[in-house]
Amino acid sequence: MSYAHKLTGSQEIRLRDFDPEYDAGLNREDGEARLKALSDELMALQEMLYAAGEHSVLMVLQGRDTSGKDGTIRTVIGPLDSRGCNVASFKVPTSDELAHDFLWRIHNQTPRKGEITIFNRSHYEDVLVVRVHNLADKKTWGARFDHINHFEKLLSDSKTIVLKFYLHISKQEQEQRLLDREADREKYWKLSAGDWKEREFWNDYTKAYEDVLNRCSTPFAPWFIVPSNKKWYRNLAVAEALVLTLRPLKAGWLKKLDAIGQREKAAIEEFLKQSQMTKK
């Protein structure tokens, strides 16, 4: 069994059936050792992804405030080669963004071939925060689940590998993390009164997230529920999901790279032969 729960739309889920404390019976030391091995493999896979230039990877990170989106990026993505990696963070839309359809600013940030892009929040905010706070009417946000599925199908058909992670924390864990921020001067910059206010809407977000997970989990763009109360486990689960998704593509990339290598080798040999003949 893998560490994150992969959803492809075949079963209806409720979040209360998933334990945010889950750690697969591992301890932190084991978990960090396994992460190291996965991280090494991920670096090698990224190099091949980049060189082959055939696929791109889009990793969507969603979760409640303090669920660890930034920490996941730092730990799992940090070791990768930054030349082939981009992070796009989506904030409250600007007036220019609001003057377009909701996917306009999103599509503009999708990865080029060979690259990995991480969405820190995403188009899903348009059916989460927008729904919970009535920032659009129900007819508008209600139509977006289909728009999102069609958009992600387009990406997938264009050889973008789409993986979506919901970082699952408990309400109690969130409270602890918010209090920790207040107690640590180096974390002061993360303080936001808005986070305590959003907490009041905990159940509304649960409903909104469940609808997202049930309506937008597809074989071509699966959601992963990541138990995230333990940060080391969260990192391990995300890294593993990435590796398990990319690993099967490696053979095809190697074949393509091999063919390129053979062609270049033949060209070099031909060049050397020609230059020897002209010297004679």
Task: Please report, as ranges, the residues that interact with Mg ion according to CB under 5 A.
Answer: 65
**3-state SS class at 116:** strand
How deeply is 116 buried, as exposed, middle or buried, from its count of CB atoms within 10 A (0-12, 13-18, 19+)? Answer: buried
- Cβ neighbors of 254 (< 8 A, separation 6 or more) are 48
Residue 221 binds ligand AMP, judged by CB under 6 A? no
Residue 193 binds ligand AMP, judged by CB under 6 A? no
Q: What torsion do the CA atoms of 165, 168, 174, 178 make, to the nearest 10 degrees? A: -10
Q: H/E element holding 202?
A: helix 202-215
Q: Among Mg ion, ligand AMP, none, what binds residue 129 when CB lies within 5 to 8 Å by partner kind?
A: ligand AMP
User: Smallest distance from the beta carbon of 197 to Mg ion, in angstroms?
Assistant: 11
User: Smallest distance from the beta carbon of 66 to Mg ion, in angstroms?
Assistant: 8
Residues in 103-142 at the binding interface with ligand AMP, rule: CB under 6 A = 121, 125-126, 129-130, 135
Residue 200 binds ligand AMP, judged by CB under 6 A? no
Residue number, 51 or 87, with CB nearest to ligand AMP: 87
Q: H/E element holding 151?
A: helix 144-157
Residue number, 191 or 267, with CB nearest to ligand AMP: 191
Where do contacts with ligand AMP occur on this chain (CB under 6 A)?
A: 90-93, 121, 125-126, 129-130, 135
